[in-house]
């Protein structure tokens, strides 16, 4: 039933055979049927550059994680969850300090989004249960957290023995986890920081902010060790740090290659599967790195051959729509003739890569929120602007997720900054990265098409 | 009451008075009213603090849409609207705005005042839990604030001035507390609505005038004969109770119930605890404003606040709880889900959750819900 689908997701025939009993059990629990598999196949072919082996390997990583997640209680003694915006390094260091057989470690919200959303378009039932379970509709709660709550309450995925959550960057994860704790008794370890730099401070940050977050990282690690019954190891920390750095640098080179290529070599919707692995812990470190390197090589070859998904000379835009549950909006934007040079902004600004003086593991975690978008609203807006400059775009689509309290304040400030400094058109689009019920590609198309005409005219006028 | 009248006359001329002070060189320091900004520091450097607590009007909320999308807490959007509309004098005459960053909604006020109004805004962080590192962080924020104020006003904050300011603010809190506690009696001598107005006045009035008025109010209330009125007693709690946002109070009391106690994250001054001015005064401020302050819904563990609410409900012998939250304040929305269960289990009284976006169209349905709720409480009492 699902053989073809798994092949599209990079599974080899012998793996499909070997894994069939597990996949059967997981898919049955998820309520996936023939129609879903057909829809999944169609979506992969319709929206992604599915002929690329690197992408198929990424899809395989997500699909395996989905099966592991659903079967976690049957197969492991202990379960630890996290989710966005928790950084990958602390998660990986905790995960790698545990025995693979004993402890399952995952980010259920993201895994469900990237599979049940992206591939099967079947995310809504989870959101609806989340809405009935303490995160009601109409209140702009984050659908990522509604989804994971809904999946637990529905019994499709187990409740964890521990949740580790970042309470900086946005308030919602911690609010949702307090609910999980109060209503379902799940212990939660928080990584706290304060987003309090003054306007004009970016990219500076103060030591006390780092130290505070560092103290919370130590506390989180201690709680993890106590509840899971393990010891964080130096080796796990080193591996987490190194593998993360290598993946990010390779990813950085890839997005620069894509962003500067003309024509645009692959869809940004395809790249999303690699992008979200920047925050999904997996024990398959080698497989993940290998997938990225294969993808990078494939993209390089396309660029060298002058191949792409759009015509050469298409106007380029910066676009913040990285929608993890639905590739169709990104594809719709590209199909209006706009090359998305850079998204989200996932290009790391030079400041993010700057060396800092912290060497203790907890301090290195503590400095994380000071270096990038979580630094402040000002940082978020200026990084958007820098992304536009770095890729010399002709316009920007500032897609903002309904429900995201972190993102919302940056929307109009970013628009004004880009318009003022670069003199290019900016479209503000309201949508949702995690919930497809209220916003669809079809509904947004007319506005994007009109905007595309504007950008094209703007580019032509500039060239004349 | 004569003293209340005196206070409202003072408030009516306060903008004029502040304008005069400002012309004379006194700095006006605005702040977000979440209870984490020690006014004592402002007084100690010779400036005048002004809490930004206007709310309840639909126009500023509408105006804010040009600067921030709608998915933000209503009160915070209203603050942006008041500033950008330019019609509310207090919002236009500030020399500096201080924003203790409590959550994303409040932070957005700072960002919009900075970017769109080009105001001078100073932020400091409020961690969401209370371990010793969090305390240190908050204290470091207060030190940074002190430095900012000293630089901004050109006046050094010395211990003598700070102690004097602490004494002044302590007296104000003491009086508010004493007045509030009178409502524990079976027949409260003042309506919740009246107390809230006194509390709101404390964000804007001259402290000496305020203290004088509060002393008289207290005396008058103590001497007031029992009214004979007897209605259901209500605990009103939620995210923000702004100055001007009196609809829930008015509707509740018009329907024959008494709001005998309130607990809000913002808009209401916290008066239960005083600063203990022994030892290091900055630490004493942090102890009062952070460690001993009852936390809002975004604090962890959330139990601390909820247990406190249960205790308040018992202490003030309430018959029901009204949970009043503003739209898109997600922390309150989520917390209400499990608090309602606690109320049922631990107190056995009803709870009504209502929500507002400062929209005039809400009033009809809101009134019906409140009146029904009060009928339920009355029936509960008879039963
Ligand atoms: S989408 Fe926004 S609200 Fe949801 S977790 Fe991310 S930053 Fe937070």
Residue A269 corresponds to which tokens in the numbers above? 């919707």
In 3D space, the residue among B301, B349, B330, B257 whose CA is nearest the CA of residue B71 turns out to be: B330
Instruction: Report the nearest atom of ligand 1 relative to the CA of A84.
Output: 5
CB atoms within 10 A of CB A160: 26
Chain B: residue whose CA lies nearest to A199? B114
**Mutation choice for B interface testing from A171, A419, A434 by most B CBs within 10 A:** A171
- If we measure between CA atoms, which residue out of A268, A415, A265 comes closest to residue A340? A268
Is residue A351 predicted with pLDDT exceeding 60?
no
What does the alpha-carbon distance between residue A188 and residue B79 come to, in Å, rounded to a whole number? Answer: 34
Q: Suggest the residue from B81, B104, B355 to mutate for an interface test with chain A (most A CBs closer than 10 A).
A: B104
User: Residues 6 or more apart from A253 whose CB is under 8 A from it?
Assistant: A296
Whether A197 and B123 lie within 8 Å, measured CB to CB: yes
Residue ID of nearest Cα to ligand 1 atom 2: A404
Helix (H, G, I), strand (E, B) or coil at A18: helix
- Measured by CA distance, the residue closest to atom 4 of ligand 1 is A142
Question: Distances in Å between the alpha carbon of B189 and those of B182, B260, B269, B381?
Answer: 7, 10, 20, 21
* HSE value, Cβ hemisphere, 13 Å, CA-based, for B95: 19
Q: Does A175 touch chain B (CB under 8 A)?
A: yes
CA–centroid distance, residue A437 to ligand 1 (Å): 17
Taking the centre of ligand 1 as the mean of its atom positions, its distance from the CA of residue B160, in whole angstroms, is 46
Q: Does A207 touch chain B (CB under 8 A)?
A: no
Give A154's contacts (C-beta < 8 A, 6+ positions apart).
A125, A126, A129
Q: Closest partner residue to A405 among B72, B137, B300, by Cβ?
A: B72
Which regions of A315-371 does DSSP assign to beta strands (E)?
316-319, 339-343
A76-87 mean pLDDT: 95
Q: How far is CA A182 from the centre of its chain?
A: 28
What residue spans of A229-320 are helical by DSSP H? 234-260, 268-275, 285-305
Residues B264/B375, Cβ–Cβ less than 8 Å: no
CB-based contact B122 A402, cutoff 8 Å: no
State in Å: Cα A116 to ligand 1 middle. Answer: 19
Task: Report whether A258 contacts A266 (CB < 8 A).
Answer: yes
Best residue in A131, A178, A219, A410 for a mutation probing chain B (most B CBs within 10 Å):
A178
**Which tokens is B315 given?**
């202490």
CA atoms within 13 A on the CB side of B96: 18
The candidate with the shortest Cα–Cα distance to B165, out of B208, B210, B215, is B208
User: What chain B residue is nearest to A410 in terms of C-alpha separation?
Assistant: B68
- Separation of first and last alpha carbons in chain A: 56
Pick from A169, A109, A151, A83: nearest CA to A404: A169
Residue A9 token pair: 């997701």
Residues from chain A that touch B300, judged by Cβ atoms under 8 A, are: 167, 174, 178, 190
From the number of C-beta atoms within 10 Å of its C-beta (0-12, 13-18, 19+), residue B126 rates as buried
Closest ligand 1 atom, CA of A169?
7
Confidence tier at A346 by pLDDT (50, 70, 90): low
Strand partners, B238: B264, B324
Q: What is the mean pLDDT of each run of 10 residues along chain B (383 residues)?
A: 88 96 97 96 98 97 94 96 96 97 96 97 97 98 98 97 98 98 94 96 97 96 82 96 97 96 95 95 98 94 96 97 97 96 96 97 96 93 68
d(CA B318, CA B261): 9
Encoded tokens for A366? 């503590």
Beta bridge partners of B28: B48
What is the torsion angle, in degrees rounded to the nearest 10, for the CA atoms of residue A88, residue A94, residue A100 and residue A104?
Answer: -70
Q: How far is B7 from chain A (nearest CA, A)?
A: 36
Contact predicate A391/A341, CB 8 Å: yes
C-alpha A83/C-alpha A96 separation (Å) is 17
- Kindly report, residue by residue over B43-92, the tens digit of the pLDDT: 999 999 999 999 999 999 999 999 998 889 999 999 999 999 999 999 99
Instruction: Give the integer Cα–Cα distance in Å for A287 and A290.
Output: 5
Global pTM reads 0.96
Whole-number Å distance between alpha carbons of B138 and B125: 6
Residue B276 CA to residue A61 CA, distance in Å, equals: 58
User: At residue A312, does pLDDT exceed 80?
Assistant: yes
Minimum CA–CA partner of A406 in chain B:
B104
Q: Is the peptide bond before B120 cis (omega within 30 degrees of 0)?
A: no
- The pLDDT assigned to A353 comes to 59
B126 to chain A, any CB pair closer than 8 A? The answer is: yes
Residue in the structure block whose two tokens are 């390997």: A57
pLDDT beyond 80 at A350 = no
CA distance linking residue A463 with residue B12, whole number of Å = 60
Check CB contact of A167 with chain B, cutoff 8 Å: yes
Is B104's Cβ below 8 Å from some Cβ in A?
yes
- Cβ–Cβ contact B76 with A under 8 A: no
In this predicted structure, the answer to whether residue A160 has a pLDDT above a threshold of 60 is yes
Nearest to B338 among A167, A179, A194 (CB): A179
Report the pocket of ligand 1 as residue ranges, CB < 6 Å.
A 84-85, 142, 144, 169-170, 172-173, 401, 404-407, 433
Phi and psi angles of residue B105, each rounded to the nearest 5 degrees, phi first = -65, -50
Collect all residues of chain A within an 8 Å Cβ-Cβ radius of residue B68: 408-409, 411-412
How far is it, in rounded angstroms, from Cα B313 to Cα B262? Answer: 10
Give percent above pLDDT 70 in chain A: 98
- Chain A residue with CA closest to B77: the answer is A409
Atom of ligand 1 nearest to the CA of A171: 8
Rounded distance from Cα A404 to ligand 1 centre (Å): 5
State how far the Cα of A250 lies from the Cα of A244, in Å rounded to an integer: 10
- Residue identified by tokens 């639909």 is B58
Buried b (16+ CB within 10 A) or exposed e, A280-318: bbbbebebbeebbbbbbebbeebbeeeebbbeeebbbbb
B134 touching A, CB under 8 A?
yes
CA-only gyration radius of chain B, Å: 20
Q: State the DSSP code for B54.
A: B
DSSP conformational letter for B372: H
Q: Bridge partners of A343? A: A319
- CB within 8 Å of B271: residues ≥ 6 apart: B172, B173, B174, B176, B177, B180, B199
Pocket test for ligand 1, best of A144, A276, A278, A432 (most atoms within 8 A of CB): A144
Q: Which residues pair with B208 in a beta bridge?
A: none
Q: What is the pLDDT of residue B3?
A: 84
A319-342 pLDDT, tens digit per residue, is: 998 788 999 999 999 999 999 999
Q: Which two tokens stand for residue B276?
A: 């203990």
For residue A275, which phi and psi values (nearest 5 degrees)?
Answer: -55, -50
Please write the tens of the pLDDT for every residue from A360-393. 999 999 998 888 889 999 999 999 999 999 999 9
Contacts of B330 in chain A (CB under 8 A): 139-141, 171-172, 175, 405
* Range A350-362 burial, b when 16+ CB lie within 10 A, else e: ebbeeeeebeebb
CA distance B101 to chain A (A): 6
- To test the pocket of ligand 1, the residue of A173, A175, A324, A410 to mutate (highest count of ligand atoms within 8 Å of its CB) is A173
Report the distance separating Cα B269 and Cα B263, nearest Å: 9
Chain B residue numbers with beta carbons less than 8 Å from the beta carbon of A403 are: 71
**Across A107-116, A138-147, A405-414, least confident range:** A405-414
**pLDDT (tens digit per residue) in A86-120:** 999 999 999 999 999 999 999 999 999 999 999 99
The conformation of residue A375, written as its DSSP 8-state character, comes to G
Quick one: which of B262, B257, B250 has its CA closest to B323?
A: B262
The phi-psi region of residue A397 (left if phi > 0; otherwise alpha if psi is between -120 and 50; otherwise beta) is: beta
Spatial CB neighbours of B281, under 8 Å, sequence gap ≥ 6 = B159, B162, B163, B166
Tell me if B180 sits within 8 A of B74, measured CB to CB. Answer: no
Q: Are B314 and B244 in contact (CB under 8 A)?
A: no
* pLDDT, position B302: 94
Q: pLDDT digits over A277-303, tens only?
A: 988 999 999 999 999 999 999 999 999
For residues A218 and A221, give the distance between their C-alpha atoms in angstroms, rounded to a whole number.
5
Partners of B309 in beta bridges: none
Enter the ipTM: 0.95
**Residue of chain A whose Cα is closest to the Cα of B74:** A139
The DSSP H or E segment spanning B28 is strand B28-31
Closest ligand 1 atom to residue A434 Cα is: 1
Nearest chain B residue to A174 by CA: give it: B298
φ, ψ (nearest 5 deg) of residue A454: -65, -45
Q: Is A212 on the interface with B (CB under 8 A)?
A: yes
Kindly report the number of other CB atoms within 10 A of residue A165's CB atom: 23
Cα B181 from Cα B191, distance rounded (Å)? 12
Distance from CA of A433 to the nearest CA of B (A): 15
What is d(CA B380, CA B145) in angstroms, rounded to the nearest whole number? 50
- Residue A165 main-chain phi, psi, to 5 deg: -135, 140
**Contact flag B114-A199 (C-beta cutoff 8 Å):** yes
State both tokens at A180: 């999980």
Inter-residue contact A65 to A288 (CB < 8 Å): no
Cis peptide bond prior to A345, omega within 30° of 0: yes
């Amino acid at each position: 039933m699902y053989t073809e689908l798994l092949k599209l997701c990079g599974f080899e025939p012998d793996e499909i055979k070997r894994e069939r009993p597990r996949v059967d059990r997981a898919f049955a629990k998820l309520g996936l049927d023939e129609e879903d598999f057909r829809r999944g196949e169609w979506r992969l072919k319709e929206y992604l550059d599915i002929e690329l082996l690197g992408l198929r390997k990424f899809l395989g990583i997500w699909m395996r994680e989905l099966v592991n997640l659903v079967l976690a209680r049957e197969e492991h003694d202990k379960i630890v969850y996290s989710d966005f915006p928790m950084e990958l390094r602390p998660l990986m260091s905790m995960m790698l300090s545990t025995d693979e057989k004993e402890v399952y470690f995952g980010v259920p919200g993201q895994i469900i989004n990237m599979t049940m959303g992206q591939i099967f378009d079947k995310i809504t039932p989870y959101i609806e249960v989340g809405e009935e379970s303490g995160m009601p509709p109409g209140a702009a709660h984050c659908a990522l957290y509604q989804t994971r709550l809904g999946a637990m309450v529905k019994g499709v995925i187990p409740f964890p023995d521990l949740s580790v959550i970042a309470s900086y960057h946005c308030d919602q994860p911690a609010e949702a986890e307090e609910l999980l704790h109060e209503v379902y008794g799940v212990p939660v370890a928080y990584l706290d920081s304060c987003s309090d730099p003054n306007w004009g401070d970016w990219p500076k940050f103060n030591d006390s902010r780092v130290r505070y977050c560092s103290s919370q990282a130590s506390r989180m690690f201690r709680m993890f060790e106590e509840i899971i019954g393990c010891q964080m190891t130096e080796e796990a920390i080193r591996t987490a740090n190194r593998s993360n750095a290598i993946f990010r640098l390779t990813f950085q080179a890839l997005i620069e290659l894509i962003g500067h290529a003309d024509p645009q070599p692959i869809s940004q919707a395809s790249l999303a599967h690699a992008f979200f692995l920047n925050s999904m812990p997996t024990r398959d470190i080698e497989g993940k790195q290998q997938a990225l390197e294969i993808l990078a090589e494939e993209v390089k070859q396309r660029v060298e051959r002058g191949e792409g998904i759009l015509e050469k000379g298409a106007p380029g835009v910066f676009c913040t729509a990285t929608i993890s549950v639905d590739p169709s909006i990104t594809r719709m934007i590209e199909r209006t003739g706009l090359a998305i040079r850079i998204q989200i902004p996932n290009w790391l600004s030079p400041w993010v890569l700057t060396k800092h003086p912290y060497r203790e593991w907890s301090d290195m975690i503590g400095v994380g929120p000071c270096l990038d978008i979580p630094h402040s609203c000002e940082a978020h807006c200026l990084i958007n602007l820098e992304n536009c400059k770095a890729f010399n775009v002709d316009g920007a689509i500032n897609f903002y997720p309904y429900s995201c309290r972190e993102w919302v304040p940056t929307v109009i400030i970013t628009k004004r900054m880009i318009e003022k400094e670069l003199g290019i058109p900016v479209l503000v689009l309201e949508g949702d990265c995690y919930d497809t019920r209220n916003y669809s590609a079809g509904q947004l198309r007319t506005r994007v098409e009109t905007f595309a005409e504007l950008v094209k005219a703007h580019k032509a006028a500039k060239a004349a | 009451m004569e003293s209340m009248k005196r206070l409202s006359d003072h408030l009516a001329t306060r903008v004029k008075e502040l304008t005069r002070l400002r012309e004379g060189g006194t700095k006006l320091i605005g702040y977000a009213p979440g209870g984490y900004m020690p006014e004592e520091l402002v007084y100690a450097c010779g400036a005048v603090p002004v809490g930004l607590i206007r709310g309840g009007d639909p126009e500023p909320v509408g105006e804010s849409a040009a600067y921030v999308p709608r998915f933000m807490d209503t009160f915070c959007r209203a603050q942006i609207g008041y500033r950008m509309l330019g019609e509310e004098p207090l919002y236009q005459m500030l020399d500096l705005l201080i924003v203790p960053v409590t959550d994303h909604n409040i932070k957005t006020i700072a960002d919009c005042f900075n970017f769109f109004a080009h105001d001078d805004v100073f932020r400091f962080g409020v961690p969401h839990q209370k371990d010793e590192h969090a305390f240190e962080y908050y204290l470091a924020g207060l030190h940074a604030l002190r430095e900012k104020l000293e630089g901004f006003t050109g006046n050094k904050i010395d211990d003598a001035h700070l102690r004097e300011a602490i004494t002044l603010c302590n007296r104000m809190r003491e009086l508010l507390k004493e007045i509030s506690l009178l409502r524990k009696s079976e027949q409260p001598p003042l309506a919740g609505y009246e107390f809230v107005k006194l509390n709101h006045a404390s964000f804007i009035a001259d402290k000496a005038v305020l203290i004088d008025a509060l002393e008289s109010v207290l005396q008058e209330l103590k001497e007031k004969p029992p009214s004979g009125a007897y209605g259901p007693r209500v605990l009103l709690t939620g995210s923000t109770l702004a100055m001007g946002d009196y609809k829930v109070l008015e509707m509740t009391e018009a329907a024959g119930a008494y709001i005998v106690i309130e607990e809000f994250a913002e808009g209401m001054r916290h008066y239960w605890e005083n600063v203990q001015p022994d030892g290091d005064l900055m630490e004493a401020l942090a102890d009062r404003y952070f460690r001993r302050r009852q936390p809002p819904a975004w604090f962890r563990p959330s139990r601390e606040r909820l247990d406190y609410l249960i205790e308040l409900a018992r202490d003030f012998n309430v018959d029901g709880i009204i949970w009043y939250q503003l739209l898109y304040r997600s922390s309150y929305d989520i917390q209400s889900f499990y608090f309602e269960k606690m109320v049922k289990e631990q107190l056995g009284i009803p709870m009504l959750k209502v929500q507002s976006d400062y929209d005039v169209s809400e009033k009809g349905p809101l009134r019906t819900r409140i009146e029904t709720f009060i009928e339920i409480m009355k029936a509960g009492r008879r039963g």
